[in-house]
Amino acid sequence: MDEVFRAINDPSRRLLLDALYERDGQTLGELCAVLPEMTRYGVMNHLKVLEEAELVTTHKQGRQKFHYLNPVPIKLVHDRWISRYAEPRVGAIADIKARLETGEQTMDKPVHLYKTYIRGSAEDVWDAIINPDKTVQYFYGTAVESDWEVGSTMNYYYPDGSPASEGQIISIDPPKRIEFLFHAMWDEEIKAEGPAREVWALTEMGDMVELKVEIYEIGEKALEDFKAGLPYIIAGLKSLVETGKALPAPA
């Protein structure tokens, strides 16, 4: 699946897949018309990546080579990842993808927003966000786990290995921004509400970093819980980056 995610991460390759979805069995010459500003060699290279990911199959007839969309890898991705979330969330992901492709970064108004200023570099704060040895010190004793690619899981685990949350990365731009789904596992009522969507955005301001945590599409009980827990998490992250020490665990 890594090859599939890498292949569809490029907008030119997505356009080629869209063209084959509209009309299957096109030649290289026909597909070059989809990307008129790109050289024939460039289109060939994109098609090669899609073939290696098995998203495109080919058939030779005489001197011509016809390209066909192969939906099987996409179906496997759907079955493994997308079908785990409720359909309204799937629609949200599709909307997010469409908006990101047009260059928009703020999709709608956040339900809740936190902001703090941390003395240090964006790289220091980013490391605190993605490093499990550090999240365990401020994220209620949980270690984050991910390979930090679009479409990858992003889960937090308790010391005994049980999941505190399950999620998926929607977009990532180290060390500036990460958007992800966060599905809490620690409470059955919150779990039943489905995953929330979060954006963590970092902006360097001299020797400080502005950290904004935006919450979107979240259930009522989850929001109540997040309002109580996120201030401690963000303050703990700030303390860890600035002093090297986490805050005491809340009573």
Every domain of the chain with CATH number 3.30.530.20 lies at 91-243
Q: What band does 225 get if pLDDT is binned at 50, 70 and 90? A: very high
Fold of 91-243: Alpha-D-Glucose-1,6-Bisphosphate; Chain A, domain 4 (3.30.530)
Q: Are 113 and 212 in contact (CB under 8 A)?
A: yes
* Per-residue tokens: 5: 């995610």
Q: What band does 80 get if pLDDT is binned at 50, 70 and 90? A: low
Put simply, whether the predicted model's pTM sits higher than 0.75 gets the answer no
Look at residue 247 and tell me whether its pLDDT is greater than 50.
yes
Look at residue 31 and tell me whether its pLDDT is greater than 90.
yes
Supply the pLDDT for residue 106.
47
Every domain of the chain with CATH number 1.10.10.10 lies at 2-77
User: What value does the mean pLDDT take over residues 107-124?
Assistant: 86
Supply the pLDDT for residue 131.
97
| Residue 134 C-beta-side C-alpha neighbours within 13 Å | 19
Q: At what angle do helices 122-130 and 220-243 cross, to 10 degrees?
A: 130
In this predicted model, which residue has the larger pLDDT, 66 or 100?
Answer: 66
State which CATH number among 3.40.50.720, 3.30.43.10, 2.30.40.10, 1.10.10.10 fits the domain covering 2-77.
Answer: 1.10.10.10
Look at residue 235 and tell me whether its pLDDT is greater than 50.
yes
**DSSP H or E run through 173:** strand 163-173
Q: pLDDT tens digits, residue range 181-200?
A: 999 999 999 999 989 999 99
